[in-house]
Structure formats: structure tokens, C-alpha cells
């Protein structure tokens, strides 16, 4: 690694999207740095070409140390796991605000923030799940009011979700997943973000990241079955069952309640956003040089 070369710092660099972002940046010849609690595990995931600052992102001293010799920051922090969920506020809110404060002191101006596809406060209120998106809404607002050279990227759910519900020839989805929703491959997120961070013509913009089409789960099940040759039957599980389980387990495993809220939102995804997916995707194709991964190509790569 060239020590005098300014680096791109990726917070959340070992996550589902983060590791793809790091991979694409390295392929473009960028010098990349990440923060990880586990140096060995991070190196196993990302290889030896990445500088790893070992420590917790909630530690102010670690944040300050990681920002040395950095030209741009990408924030894709997520606490969406049973292990990290109890620290969601510290990781997704407090740490991000501290990163912004420390970056300002270090005179770093370029900041990329990965958020939800589109977070509508009214929708969250109507579904009685306001807490589900309040952190990202707050962070987006504070970034938009800052003097950073910022770009906010609203990521659609990963295409991985369509495959995650398949077991023994059945796609069992709580609530059914009958509403069409956007989705995107991690490969595309990595490519787009790696192009965004080095550009200066996307300041003060919020872009939605999506694949070419919106699908509901029954449609996805049919498509997977058709291309893979497997017999896959879509099955709807009553959402109230997940609700009851989440309430009963709340004192012990609060993450289940969060999963229920995400499923509730998935089953009530705004129709206008789904209909606008082709237009949103067209904007991405006009702005960025990449070949998008479609659901069909993702299926073929999995069931080659």
C-alpha cells in the first residue's frame, strides 16, 4: 500500500453490501481502509489489500484514528442481526454522528451514506412501526443539512431475500409478499457506490438503487422455478403468527420484533414506488457505467 495515497474509508466494509463496495474500489485501484472489531475475520473476508483498523466503530478514538489519511467516507453500517441489534442506536445513529463530527475536524468533505430505498414517515406511522425507520430519517436529515459534499443512496432490499425464504421446494413468506418490491444485487451496489464516491458531480443528491424490475414473491418463485428447473411452491404464512412470536420473545430476543416490522413494511410496500422502479433504474443506467444484474441472471448464477 502506498502510504502517501489518500484512502477511501468504508464503515461497514465487511457487511453484505460493504464487502462488494470494497471489492469494486480495489478493482478500480483505490486505496481502501475499513474498521472492524475482528482483524482476522475481516482479512479473511476482504483479503490483505485493505487496511484494517481494529476496534469498535462506537469508540470515538477508533473513529478519529481511522480518519487519518482519508479523502472520502462511505457509511454502510448496519446492526440488523440478533448479535448487534441491542446496539443499533449506538452503531447506526451515535457512531454515524460521531463519524460526521470527526470527519469535519479532519477536513474530509466527501461523504456517501447508504440508507433505505425510500423512508416515508407517513407510511411508518400508518403501519405503527415508526421506530423502524426513525434513525435513518434522522441521519438523512442531518446529512442533508450539513456542508459535506454528500450523496445519499437509498438501497433496495438485496435479491438475496427471494432465495432466503426457499426451503425444501417451498418459498414460505410471512404475509405472502404479494406487493411488488424493488431489489438489487450486491454486485450492482458495489459497482455504483465505487463510482459515486470518486465523483464530484453528485453532491446533494439522493438516488434510489434498484435492479431493472420490481417483483412480488409469487412472481419471483415462478421465475426461479422456470429458470432453475426446480419445483418451487409459494406459500403464505399468516403475518399475525410472526407478530405473536415477536411479542412473546420481545424481552429475550428483541430482534424478532424488528424482523416483524420489516416484514410488515415489505407486505405494505408503496405501489407508486414499485411502479417507478424502471424509471429509477433508467436514471442509474444514465449516470453510471455498469451492466446490471437481473433476477434472471442471478438465478442462473446460483443454479448453473
pLDDT (0 to 100) of residue 1: 41
CA distances 241 to 41, 168, 260, Å, are 36, 21, 10
Predicted TM-score of the model (pTM): 0.94
Parallel/antiparallel/unpaired status of strands 166-167 and 70-75: unpaired
Per-residue pLDDT of the chain (304 residues; tens, 9 = 90+): 444 589 999 999 999 999 999 999 999 999 999 999 999 999 999 999 999 999 999 999 999 999 999 999 999 999 988 888 899 999 999 999 999 999 999 999 999 999 999 999 999 999 999 888 999 999 999 999 999 999 999 999 999 999 999 999 999 999 999 999 999 999 999 999 999 999 999 999 999 999 999 999 999 999 999 999 999 999 999 999 998 998 998 888 888 999 999 999 999 999 999 999 999 999 999 999 999 999 999 999 998 7
Q: What's the domain count of the chain?
A: 1
Instruction: Please report whether residue 223 resides in a domain.
Output: no
274/276 Cα distance (integer angstroms): 5
Angle, helices 18-27/186-196, rounded to nearest 10 degrees = 60
CA 196 to chain CA centroid, nearest Å: 15
Residue 109, in any domain of the structure = yes
Does 21 fall in a domain? yes
Parent domain of 11: 7-156+185-211+271-293
Look at residue 245 and tell me if it is in a domain.
no
Is 279 inside a domain boundary? Answer: yes
With both helix axes pointing from N to C terminus, report the angle between 134-144 and 95-105 in degrees, rounded to the nearest 10: 20
CATH code of the domain containing 199: 3.40.50.720
127 lies in a domain?
Answer: yes
Give the separation between CA 31 and CA 231, rounded to whole angstroms: 45
Query: In whole angstroms, what is the distance from residue 23 CA to residue 30 CA?
Result: 10
Closest CA to 285 of 215, 235, 214, 211: 211
At residue 250, the pLDDT reads 86
The angle subtended at Cα 25 by Cα 7 and Cα 2, nearest 5°, is 40
Distance CA 72, CA 106 (A): 11
Say how far apart CA 33 and CA 95 lie, in whole Å. 17
Contact 162, 224 (CB under 8 A): yes
In a domain, 259, yes or no: no
On whether the CB atoms of residues 284 and 215 are closer than 8 A, the answer is: no
Q: Looking at the domain assignment, is residue 303 inside a domain? A: no
Amino acid at each position: 500500500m502506498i502510504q502517501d495515497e489518500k484512502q477511501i474509508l468504508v464503515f461497514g466494509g465487511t457487511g453484505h453490501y460493504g464487502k462488494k463496495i470494497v471489492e469494486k474500489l480495489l478493482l478500480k485501484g483505490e486505496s481502501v481502509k475499513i474498521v472492524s472489531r475482528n482483524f482476522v475475520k475481516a482479512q479473511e473476508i476482504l483479503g490483505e489489500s485493505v487496511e484494517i483498523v481494529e476496534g469498535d466503530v462506537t469508540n470515538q478514538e477508533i473513529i478519529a484514528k481511522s480518519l487519518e489519511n482519508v479523502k472520502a467516507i462511505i457509511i454502510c453500517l448496519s446492526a440488523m442481526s440478533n448479535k448487534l441489534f441491542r446496539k443499533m442506536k449506538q452503531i447506526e445513529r451515535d457512531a454515524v454522528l460521531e463519524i460526521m463530527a470527526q470527519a469535519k475536524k479532519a477536513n474530509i468533505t466527501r461523504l456517501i451514506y447508504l440508507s433505505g430505498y425510500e423512508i416515508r414517515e407517513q407510511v411508518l406511522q400508518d403501519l405503527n412501526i415508526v421506530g423502524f425507520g426513525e434513525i435513518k430519517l434522522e441521519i438523512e436529515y442531518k446529512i442533508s443539512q450539513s456542508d459535506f459534499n454528500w450523496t445519499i443512496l437509498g438501497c433496495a432490499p438485496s435479491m438475496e431475500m427471494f432465495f432466503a425464504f426457499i426451503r425444501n421446494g417451498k418459498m414460505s413468506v410471512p404475509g405472502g409478499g404479494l406487493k411488488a418490491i424493488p431489489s438489487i444485487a450486491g454486485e450492482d451496489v458495489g459497482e455504483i457506490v465505487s463510482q459515486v464516491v470518486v465523483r464530484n458531480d453528485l453532491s446533494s443528491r439522493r438516488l434510489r438503487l434498484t435492479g431493472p424490475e420490481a417483483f412480488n414473491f409469487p412472481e419471483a418463485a415462478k421465475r426461479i422455478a422456470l429458470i432453475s428447473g426446480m419445483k418451487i411452491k409459494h406459500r403464505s404464512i399468516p403475518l399475525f403468527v410472526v407478530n405473536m412470536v415477536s411479542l412473546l420473545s420481545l424481552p429475550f430476543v428483541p430482534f424478532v420484533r424488528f424482523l416483524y416490522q420489516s416484514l410488515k413494511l415489505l407486505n405494505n410496500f408503496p405501489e407508486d414506488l414499485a411502479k417507478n422502479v424502471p424509471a429509477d433504474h433508467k436514471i442509474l443506467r444514465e449516470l453510471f457505467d455498469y451492466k446490471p444484474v437481473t433476477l434472471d441472471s442471478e438465478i442462473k448464477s446460483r443454479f448453473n
